[in-house]
């Protein structure tokens, strides 16, 4: 089975890159080597290197394991916590259908 290629906008890639850099800075503040973090997170050293680069090809579970090692797993709960757009849509009572309408068989 061929790997799916992740197509992300440049802005999204910059966000991931910054996320990886933040992980690297957190590791350095704790005076841990990348080998130590990779071993404690039960991932390979090359995978950890990709995490610090902000690679979209690394699973979210690997990112979370690294956050656990660094004691930052609760930061994960802050993602999408303050959904400003969603709240505005909710306040405006704009609803979306859960499914597309069924097509008639004679069309």
Mean pLDDT, the chain, as a whole number? 88
3-state class of 93 per DSSP?
coil
pLDDT of residue 38: 97
- CA dist 37 and 31 (Å) reads 10
First to last CA, the chain: 36
pLDDT, greater one: 98 or 107: 98
**CB 48 within 8 Å of CB 38:** yes
pLDDT of residue 94: 62
pLDDT, greater one: 2 or 47: 47
Q: Give me the residue spans of the domains in the chain.
A: 10-80
Q: Of the CATH numbers 3.40.630.30, 3.40.50.300, 3.40.50.2000, 1.10.260.40, which one belongs to the domain with range 10-80?
A: 1.10.260.40
DSSP code of residue 98: S
pLDDT, greater one: 72 or 1: 72
pLDDT, greater one: 3 or 74: 74
Q: Which residues contact 49 (CB under 8 A, 6 or more apart)?
A: 34
Residue 107 confidence class, pLDDT cut points 50, 70, 90: low
Tell me, yes or no, if the pTM score tops 0.95: no
């Amino acid at each position: 089975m061929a790997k799916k290629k992740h197509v992300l906008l440049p802005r999204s890639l910059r966000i991931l890159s910054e996320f990886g850099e933040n992980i690297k800075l957190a590791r350095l503040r704790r005076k841990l080597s990348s080998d130590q973090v990779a071993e404690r997170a039960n991932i390979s050293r090359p995978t950890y290197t990709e995490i610090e680069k902000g690679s979209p090809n690394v699973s979210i579970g690997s990112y979370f394991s690294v956050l656990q090692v660094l004691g930052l797993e609760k930061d994960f709960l802050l993602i999408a916590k303050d959904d400003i757009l969603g709240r505005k849509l909710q306040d405006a009572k704009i609803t979306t259908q859960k499914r597309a309408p069924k097509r008639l068989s004679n069309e």
